[in-house]
Amino acid sequence: MSERELHRIAVVGGGMMGRSIATRVSQAGLGVVVRDISDERTTQIKELLEKDLDREIERWGLTQSEKKAILARIEFTTDVRKTAGCDLLIETINEDFAAKKALIAELDEVLEPEIPIIVNTSTLSISELAQGLAHPQRVIGMHFLYPVTTTRVVEVVKGQVTSEDAFETARRFVRVLGKVPIQEFESPGFVTTRVIMPLINEAAHVVMEGVASAADVDLAIKLGFEFRHGPLEWADRVGLHRILNWLEHLFHETGDAKFRPCPIIRKLVRAGHTGARVGKGFFTYDGERSRLDRLPDDTPKLG
């Protein structure tokens, strides 16, 4: 099995996850082409990406020269044919089966047969998405945890017909990014989503039942188990609409009651309170997505 050299990566979909992946790929020294549906969208994506980098500069996580180098390696386009010269492609559009299926079919016709197509998903079936393609063996699943620039792990998911060459190329790509690839076989929710969703769901039930406030629930889990964020704040930062979508999908796939979405999550989403990005979810946030209702002893010094 020959090792494909990785020089240029395509990212299709410039949303929050797409921008984060493009940034990390560029930081690793690889060229990136980001494709989206319109000139208006690509202009907006570039502006948002620059704002993301500026926030990192303000936090002393990046320098101005590093920002310039990152942007210099990223090209923005609306032309799907510009992805044809890439060594590996990652799609990062919304977690919608029909939309992903249509996009992958389009890419299967444009890309050379040996180029792996990475499906960025946390719940969808890789085998079902690859079904009916001319080259289904090149389709592989990857679950990047947000934010991609700081999280250390990436789930690499092998479908029923995924080739060893595509799988090894994907694992090597993850290592190039400085992350740890977790080898998995296809199963609803994979590992991280399957394990974290019941925790978030149960935390929401505890709040709904009046056992403790959202802040106290999060503080107990955060300090008791040395989590960076409590489960409810983490859900806010990911987006409660995404959490609801993942829970519904897992419940549909497995029939397991532990994935039945807690009513309070559904109510928050229906009210438009989807988390940190809009300023309100289980907690409230300012324009920089910092919590405004943190408990005074939320981060106590021990010892």
Please report the domains of the chain, with CATH numbers, ordered by start residue: 8-185 (3.40.50.720), 194-303 (1.10.1040.10)
CA 284, distance to chain mean position in Å, is: 22
Quick one: CA dihedral 126, 74, 85, 180, positive or negative? negative
Cα(134)–Cα(132) distance, integer angstroms = 7
Cα(237)–Cα(219) distance, integer angstroms = 16
How far apart, in Å, are the Cα atoms of 266 and each of 78, 183, 231, 273, 282?
Answer: 35, 33, 16, 10, 12
DSSP state at residue 3: P
Q: How far apart are the first and last CA of the chain?
A: 53
Match 């609409």 to its residue by tokens: 241
Cα(10)–Cα(22) distance, integer angstroms = 8
* 3-state SS, residue 70: helix
Residue-wise pLDDT for 55-98, tens only, equals 889 988 899 999 999 999 999 999 988 998 899 999 999 989 99
Provide mean pLDDT across the span 239-247: 95
Cα(199)–Cα(270) distance, integer angstroms = 21
- Contact in structure between 218 and 233 (CB atoms under 8 Å): yes
Question: Residue 297: its pLDDT value, please?
Answer: 55
Edge-to-edge strand ranges of the sheet holding 8-12: 74-77, 31-35, 8-12, 88-91, 117-120, 139-144, 153-158, 180-185
31-35 and 88-91: which strand pairing? unpaired
Cα(49)–Cα(62) distance, integer angstroms = 13
Provide mean pLDDT across the span 245-257: 95
Provide mean pLDDT across the span 176-195: 93
DSSP state at residue 27: H
Question: Residue 300: its pLDDT value, please?
Answer: 46
Q: Which of 122-136, 139-153, 160-174 has the lowest mean pLDDT?
A: 139-153
Question: Residue 5: its pLDDT value, please?
Answer: 84
Residue-wise pLDDT for 102-137, tens only, equals 999 999 999 999 999 999 998 899 999 999 999 999
Write down the pTM of the prediction: 0.86
3-state secondary structure string across 46-61: HHHHHHHHHHHHHCCC
Quick one: CA dihedral 198, 200, 206, 212, positive or negative? positive
Residue 287: name the closest of 295, 298, 279 by CA. 279
